[in-house]
Amino acid sequence: MRVRMAPSPTGPLHIGTARTSLYNYLTARHAGGTYVLRIEDTDAARGSVEFERDIIDNLHWLGISWDEGPQVAGGEDVGPFAPYRQSARMELYASEADRLLDAGAAYRCWCTPEELEAVRREQEAARQPPRYDRRCLNLTDTDRAALEAAGRPSVIRFKVEPETIRFDDLVRGEVEFDNALLGDFVIVRNDGLPLYHFAVVVDDEAMEISDVIRGEDHLSNTPKHIALIRALGYREPRFGHIPLILNADRTKMSKRKSQMAMSAYREEGYLPEALVNFLAFLGWSPGTEEEIFTLDELAARFEIGKVHHGGAVFDKDRLDHLNGVYIRALTEEQLALRLREWIPEAVGDDDLLRMVPLIKERLVRLADVDALIGFAWEPDAVVAAWYGPQLLAPKKGSLADARRALERARATLAELDDADFSADVLEQRCREAADRAGMKAGDFFSPIRVAVTGRIISPPLFASLELLGRERSLARIDDALGKLREAAA
């Protein structure tokens, strides 16, 4: 088995391409086959090395590797069928196009865009399916010579035979198309560049691809490809078309309207292991209640024939759930390492390790760390700016209650030295202070939480106080009392 992924570097790696890459990878690994990465870079106007780098780097980040093709953006190709970039294979496309021309399976077309548009309008008015009317196929040799002598640019069109194309799709079973409805399509532009339908067929043959696994949106392209394959005398690969990814309302995910770039999920702090697990289930399931798999476990279980036919709904809540499960499965040291890029360099590794137990159970994405515990490294003045005096009031209390609680709390914390400023001691002393103040513990603790973290929801209060230390905790309570005095004035 030889499968391939052939992205075009005209944009960043998106969810759909990542899942198709994963399914190809799992299929190859399950069968002990070869996985090829081929870069379709003939669109020089929209393509770039930066997009190629984004695709390759994010596939590697997901843990998806390939046996042949470029391993780094702009780097050397690895494998016996190099080059693996279409821009370096132009001679092959030209020679294969000439073969089709010589065999009468393709012909040159000199029609202008205006002429083609006029034909399209006529067909539309007559309620006929839009397709090329073959006027250039029927030109005389004299007509062709005159057009060439005039320097008029021409494309190459493939002559589609009116036949029924049937194939056994690896996912969908038997599929049938009537190629009489297609019309003769362009395979080489007037500047000599091959178009997708032609180049992909030539490359798959040259690289001995046995199985073409791609998105369902390519299903309508397959009869064109099979017709080309037969005209060129190639061996037909097996085709498999995986379901589209849908939004929650079952509309097709749009690159423009949906967040699809893999880099965006990476920047939000989704773990690659969670994303791989999530992507694998977008159209496939193991047939059991199991939901957590490593990449190797997925490869052992995955079978392309068990991929679902219907569209796969992108459930963000499930992705968040999976990410949380993977985060909580990490050791505290492992999680600290993963969090490092989201934490300011000024926060030392030891301090970071102390923070991890406070947020591990609440963390959904790594990027959430700032919202959960950013108060630990932000300056006191910044934290004080996060809230107004009204937020200090207990849920069923007043600003006067908040002031009373904070004054008692400050006195209690000030009595402790640094050695006693631990979560256990702080909780005991503060509960005693709440009793003396005649306040419920929740009402007493609430203003303290807001004062030291700037939020009404935070990691455990007393562990947060211990993390901040005595002096910073007292300074933040002083800031809060200042706000309350100003509000009362």
Catalytic residue set: 255
DSSP of 433-475: HHHHHT--HHHHHHHHHHHHHSSSS-S-HHHHHHHH-HHHHHH
Handedness of CA 306, 310, 311, 316 (dihedral sign): negative
Tokens representing 106 are 């393709």
Q: Which of 442, 460, 461 shows the shortest CA–CA distance to 451? A: 461
Q: Which helix H or strand E contains 124, and what residues bound it? A: helix 113-125
Would you give the DSSP letter of residue 377?
T
Would you give the DSSP letter of residue 188?
E
Strands 69-70 and 34-37: unpaired
Q: Which residue has the tokens 């002083």?
A: 478
- Enumerate residues 6+ apart whose C-beta is below 8 A from 349: 336, 340
Q: Which of 341, 479, 312 shows the shortest CA–CA distance to 410? A: 479
User: Is 59 within 8 Å of 13 (Cβ atoms)?
Assistant: yes
User: Is 231 within 8 Å of 258 (Cβ atoms)?
Assistant: no
Q: Which helix H or strand E contains 90, and what residues bound it? A: helix 90-103
- Enumerate residues 6+ apart whose C-beta is below 8 A from 432: 412
Instruction: Write phi, then psi, for 465 (nearest 5 degrees).
Output: -60, -45
Helix axes 470-488, 461-468, angle to 10 degrees: 110
Would you give the DSSP letter of residue 39?
B
Q: Is it true that the peptide bond before 83 is cis, omega within 30 degrees of 0?
A: yes
Q: Which helix H or strand E contains 3, and what residues bound it? A: strand 2-5
Coil, strand or helix: which one is 136?
coil
Q: Which of 306, 450, 479 shows the shortest CA–CA distance to 381? A: 479
Handedness of CA 304, 308, 310, 316 (dihedral sign): negative
> Cβ–Cβ contacts within 10 Å for residue 123, how many?
15
Helix axes 332-339, 349-359, angle to 10 degrees: 110
Distance of alpha carbon 147 from alpha carbon 121, whole angstroms:
25
